[in-house]
Amino acid sequence: MKKVVKFGGSSLASSAQFKKVGAIIRADVNRRFVVPSAPGKRFREDVKVTDMLYHCYSVAEQDGDFTEELKNIRARYDEIISGLGLDFSLDEEFAVIEQNFRDKIGTDYAASRGEYLNGKIMSGYLGFEFVDAAEIVRFDEDGVFDSEKTNSLVSDRLAGCECAVIPGFYGSMPDGSIKTFSRGGSDITGAIIARGVRAGIYENWTDVSGFLLTDPRIVKNPVSINTITYRELRELSYMGASVLHDASIFPVRKAGIPINIRNTNKPEDPGTMIVKTTGAKSKYTITGIAGRKGFVAITVEKDMMNSEVGFGRKVLEAFEQYGISFEHMPSGIDTLSVFVEQSAFEPKEQEVIAAINRMAQPDVITIDTDLSLIAVVGRGMRDARGTAGRVFTSLANARVNVRMIDQGSDEENIIIGVKDEDFEPAVRAIYDEFVR
């Protein structure tokens, strides 16, 4: 069974971490395809190499002297190489990077070099073939990831590889220029490679032992989840759960490949299995709680709204005209609320309101700012009576005022809107109700 293994930045931040990773890969001959991230933080006050590269390139863009910045980046890699005892040099790679920075080749190129260089080291350390992601991961002319072309290229290029290292986070445009995914995009690369080589499993190694039921910064020592479905994870990742990049789910979901979230520092822990479907019963009624702050609700009121065909379309068209996507849209007989990200709405507030007035001609428009959305997700909710009642009772007991309720038609998630100041108390209250 072929396995694709992706290692995050904290797993590859130093030579000591590299040695842990090497031991993990060598412990299983099926771990044949390795996707590394750029070196992360070695300690709390440290700087990630990707951030160092962004800063270095910004100096180069302004025609500044970036010699010292590039030297500091080089030192991070030389420290890893020295600690691993490798007879290996990145002289040629850094010479090319320096020239490309002087030529101002692009921010995406600069950011991608963290993974590229770590991939070179990992290839030398393991004795695996190095395959540049720019060869096989493709974006179209508009910078949109080309899934099918990439899958074909990955399948063809890696078909003859016994073992390979493919850097995460980036690919190439039709003209050959480097294009990156959003931050955390190495997760996506791992999923792409898993699909392309038809892996039996995609192992994603990080610094936590699987998926936690909620954010440990809000709830102390939350329980971990043994098994979670793609659908549940997608809901939670979108709402802020950060173990896995939400876009990384799609390539493996399409192929039905399970993901195993593992801890590099505790490789003996089984972690969390992310699967397409499962008959396994969840220990708790809910699988996870996640959320995000910074939303605004625009509520539109109009008498006899429910009998006016196209009213909702007219309201949403006002947001579409100004490039603002909506998150949720709960409605009543004569009211409709649209939840959008506050940062996107505020600069265009009056234009959007004017457009709503012009196109929908409502009686009243009200704006409620500084809101949070919380998702309570779980496949066990469908078969458990009174789940919604337990959620809202827990919030009432915590004196949290609910501003919005929206339950998915599949009965696997409940979305709750609260004020930003009530976000953390609300998450803790719901967790305590279902887990404590």
Domain ranges, ordered by start, for the chain:
3-275, 288-434
pLDDT (average), residues 33-51: 96
Output the pLDDT for position 412: 85
* Mean pLDDT lowest among 20-24, 67-71, 287-291: 287-291
pLDDT (average), residues 32-47: 96
Q: Across the chain, what does the average pLDDT equal?
A: 93
* Model pLDDT for residues 279-289, shown as the tens digit of each residue: 877 788 999 99
* Mean pLDDT lowest among 65-74, 94-103, 405-414: 405-414
Overall CATH class of domain 3-275: alpha beta
Does residue 365 or residue 239 have the better pLDDT?
365
pLDDT (average), residues 179-198: 92
Q: How confident is the model at residue 49 (pLDDT cuts 50, 70, 90)?
A: very high
Same fold flag, 3-275 and 288-434? no
pLDDT surpasses 80 at 23: yes
Q: How confident is the model at residue 230 (pLDDT cuts 50, 70, 90)?
A: confident
Q: How confident is the model at residue 246 (pLDDT cuts 50, 70, 90)?
A: low
Where does 288-434 sit in CATH, by number?
3.30.2130.10
* Model pLDDT for residues 89-141, shown as the tens digit of each residue: 999 999 999 999 999 999 999 999 999 999 999 999 999 999 999 999 999 99
Does residue 399 or residue 242 have the better pLDDT?
399
pLDDT surpasses 70 at 422: yes
* Mean pLDDT lowest among 185-194, 242-251, 273-282, 385-394: 242-251
Output the pLDDT for position 243: 66
Q: How confident is the model at residue 381 (pLDDT cuts 50, 70, 90)?
A: confident
pLDDT surpasses 80 at 295: yes
Q: How confident is the model at residue 394 (pLDDT cuts 50, 70, 90)?
A: very high
pLDDT (average), residues 199-208: 94
pLDDT surpasses 90 at 244: no
Output the pLDDT for position 279: 81
Reading across the β-sheet that carries 272-275, which strands appear in turn?
129-130, 164-165, 31-36, 3-7, 201-206, 259-263, 272-275, 227-229
Q: How confident is the model at residue 250 (pLDDT cuts 50, 70, 90)?
A: confident
